[in-house]
Structure 1
């Protein structure tokens, strides 16, 4: 497989695998593009590269992360890897020697430089996704770059970005978290916060932007994933390092007292955010310079009800993080871990364990909600035996049907921490930080002297049959 250094390399590799299809017909950014993408996604189709967006400069690639195969290609892993296998590989990155980014003098991103007076962001193909959206969203698979003014550390993270007009773009920062904390430091200093917004890049960089490894920058993570360093160009405008082979970058500043209503948007839950009921003013980035490659390609995520790009992007790093945390607890027997994208990539977790003592499965379930990843937002845990991979949803349901008794194997935790993203919290109560959680033990009780026997195939015959598969005419 060809080494992937940028979005164009990725498209070339995926095309060879039949995983990208080019759409050459003219398509409107206003709902039509997103609706084609969503219908295609629900039919299990390839990623789509829209090359002729009405009235716009550049193309849109959407659907990159909505299949495990395309995600594996993006990560440089074997295309046949399952979500659990990818998460298992991902969680080991932290133990590898990081591959730091390399500064270069220039790169393809510098092919076109547009100064403030000539900026018109509306000419780029930002889609409007759903009828009730607050407008066009330029960033659904984009990431921001800023720098902590006190420590000098880079902060790279993902968040939705609404296109307001020719020179202004919304940037959602989770209150009290990384990007917002840094913004607040600039506010304390009486300075606007500098940002570089990246709207198309190597998909491994987009995935790295939602991953956290202590002491490593997101560029280091992407380089370690790839096995080659990420090349960056230090901007002579903001001083921020931007990917040299990015497709489109908007540089600008965020004022602290200038607010505009942002959203609503069909979020990761597949439901509209609270801005639909009540407008919430937010800060935004005033574009001062735009950099882009010739014929830029914007990377976009499908959204809405699962499974879409956004749920897959959340599922994988959260699965890897939870697995890593459980391993650090030294609990024996854990075989695989999964936070399913069908459950918005955050609300339920499944763990496969080889039980070794009475109460082992219960210990694992309690451990999940005690982790950093698990205590915030995960409201359900299912533990299955080691003959079932955590991401084998058919077998997980089978375990619930054949190994689980509600009165014996269910535990309700009445006071657990919620997530503000949980739409199941009753709206009339406002944001309730304390919710109930459920722990389900779908394993065969370890202490049973006689356990049910699985109707399994003979392993030797399986080997023989597989060796003759072509001979049977079934390949």
Structure 2
């Protein structure tokens, strides 16, 4: 189970296009990918890149069908339904399918060290005109080990290729990677790191989720229903997928930073690096592992909705729904962190109300969860007859069930991300305000609005005769 298996599955489901026309790594790959993703087109495997012999893969998560393919689920499932399946399989750490350590694997087909280390060997794209350079790590998992607990973390941090042996790594303040890095700084040691580029998409996805007390490799195997395999990278001793395409092994000096960026982020805007250099940690690449004919897995970002927004929406929907289940919040029917909100800033929860104040309890629970407490700016609650990812119906509820005075609560202060372009660049970039919008019909109303509904008997008759009408 690796990236190539997923690519083949996409091809079988007519969700892949092999691009054999020569393209340039400089802007062309990213722009073709962006236009394709915005039209909900296929994943792309660029097989002829100017100056290179190896391919680039983009668009892995851009449609709900490809999300379902990755999860081994029926292809018609919505984002909400796929996230619910993930939640059900991973709600508890009991009964996890433990990953298996192996001594060899395709990733060890080529081991380059010393003077042979040269990041220019890969067709690393430049994505947008104002980017600070080429970004080798966009679909990347950076493996770190906590020096105190021994726990392993797979973090998703963008990586700019600074030169042939160094990558800038954007480890944001407060993230687990930064907390681990500070421990190495306290010990006066460099931090071993291994960057995985190209693997089973489930491993990458597990690394973006929060599963306390469970290995990302174990989570992957549990969702897949089959043991995941990993091996210990020969230089760092960190676990990496045996079938990974590329692994960059090296060290990060917690006290030696270099400017990284700018980069067109998932918000559709550039971050502060566009106006002033911001020093970031640096991965000193000491060894490269790669398969024969390695596939560089990449994603552009920019304005929604594209590949990365679908990924973020899925992972945050899955973690938020899991947390609400763990809180034992009653009545939750469906959950969605909207891809249209970059997969972060707005969420919708559908619930079956059971008592007055129930919808506010749900909104408060979202805001108090790990997922909702970071970056979330808006929470909308709707009644059970509306699916959380049905935006057409959500806006109907906001129009015909929501009263701004009755249904709105403003929260002045909550944790945010410095990547949010709506925050004052000269102010506090780590906190934001929040809005709770209750679009449910109040439970306690004795006389509720009467919805215009079709006749069920007639609907059944029509469905049985649909082919007779000649309507496609």
TM-score bracket relative to the smaller structure: over 0.9
- Give the Cα separation in 1 of the matches to 2:427 and 2:187: 37
- Give the Cα separation in 1 of the matches to 2:268 and 2:443: 39
Q: Does the CA-based 8 Å contact 2:272-2:425 persist in structure 1? A: no
- Give the Cα separation in 2 of the matches to 1:459 and 1:206: 45
Q: Does the CA-based 8 Å contact 1:264-1:274 persist in structure 2? A: yes
Distance 1:165 1:328, change over 3 A: same
- Give the Cα separation in 2 of the matches to 1:7 and 1:29: 21
Q: Does the CA-based 8 Å contact 2:331-2:352 persist in structure 1? A: yes
- Give the Cα separation in 2 of the matches to 1:186 and 1:416: 29
Question: What secondary structure is seen at the aligned counterpart in 1 of 2:192?
Answer: strand
Q: Does the CA-based 8 Å contact 1:116-1:287 persist in structure 2? A: no
- 1:30 and 2:26 equivalent? yes
By how many angstroms is 1:235 displaced? 2.2
Match of 2:209 in 1: 211
Q: Does the CA-based 8 Å contact 1:212-1:218 persist in structure 2? A: no
Distance 1:247 1:30, change over 3 A: same
Q: Does the CA-based 8 Å contact 1:98-1:224 persist in structure 2? A: yes
Match of 1:436 in 2: 433
- 1:62 and 2:58 equivalent? yes
- Give the Cα separation in 1 of the matches to 2:264 and 2:305: 13
Question: What secondary structure is seen at the aligned counterpart in 1 of 2:372?
Answer: helix
Question: What secondary structure is seen at the aligned counterpart in 2 of 1:373?
Answer: coil
- 1:151 and 2:170 equivalent? no
Q: Does the CA-based 8 Å contact 2:87-2:318 persist in structure 1? A: yes
Larger mean Cα displacement after TM superposition, 39-48 or 127-136: 39-48
Match of 1:327 in 2: 325
Q: 1:221 aligns with which of 219, 224, 248?
A: 219
Q: 1:48 aligns with which of 44, 51, 65?
A: 44
Match of 1:408 in 2: 406
Segments of 5+ residues of structure 2 without an aligned counterpart are none
By how many angstroms is 1:153 displaced? 1.6
Larger mean Cα displacement after TM superposition, 373-382 or 391-400: 373-382
- Give the Cα separation in 2 of the matches to 1:242 and 1:84: 30
By how many angstroms is 1:422 displaced? 2.3
By how many angstroms is 1:275 displaced? 0.8
- Give the Cα separation in 1 of the matches to 2:232 and 2:44: 32
Distance 1:113 1:416, change over 3 A: closer
By how many angstroms is 1:194 displaced? 1.0
- Give the Cα separation in 2 of the matches to 1:98 and 1:182: 26
- Give the Cα separation in 1 of the matches to 2:254 and 2:96: 35
- Give the Cα separation in 1 of the matches to 2:430 and 2:136: 31
Q: 1:86 aligns with which of 67, 78, 82?
A: 82
Larger mean Cα displacement after TM superposition, 456-465 or 348-357: 456-465
- Give the Cα separation in 2 of the matches to 1:460 and 1:106: 62
Q: Does the CA-based 8 Å contact 1:410-1:441 persist in structure 2? A: yes
CA deviations on 1:263-309 (whole Å, 9 max, x unpaired) are 11111211111111110111211111111111111111231000112
Question: What secondary structure is seen at the aligned counterpart in 2 of 1:320?
Answer: helix
TM-score (ref. length: structure 1): 0.94
- 1:130 and 2:128 equivalent? yes
- Give the Cα separation in 1 of the matches to 2:154 and 2:421: 27
- Give the Cα separation in 1 of the matches to 2:255 and 2:320: 38
By how many angstroms is 1:180 displaced? 1.9
By how many angstroms is 1:421 displaced? 2.8
Distance 1:254 1:360, change over 3 A: same
TM-score (ref. length: structure 2): 0.95
CA deviations on 1:385-418 (whole Å, 9 max, x unpaired) are 1000000011001111111122222222233343
Matches within 5 A, 1:301-340: 301-340=299-338
Match of 2:198 in 1: 200
Q: 1:451 aligns with which of 425, 444, 448?
A: 448
Larger mean Cα displacement after TM superposition, 288-297 or 127-136: 288-297
CA deviations on 1:133-170 (whole Å, 9 max, x unpaired) are 01000011111112222222211111101111211122
Distance 1:463 1:424, change over 3 A: same
Match of 1:359 in 2: 357
By how many angstroms is 1:432 displaced? 5.4
- Give the Cα separation in 1 of the matches to 2:406 and 2:151: 50
- 1:282 and 2:280 equivalent? yes
By how many angstroms is 1:460 displaced? 4.3
CA deviations on 1:320-342 (whole Å, 9 max, x unpaired) are 22222222333321111111011
Where do 4+ consecutive residues of structure 1 move more than 6 Å? Answer: none
By how many angstroms is 1:6 displaced? 0.8
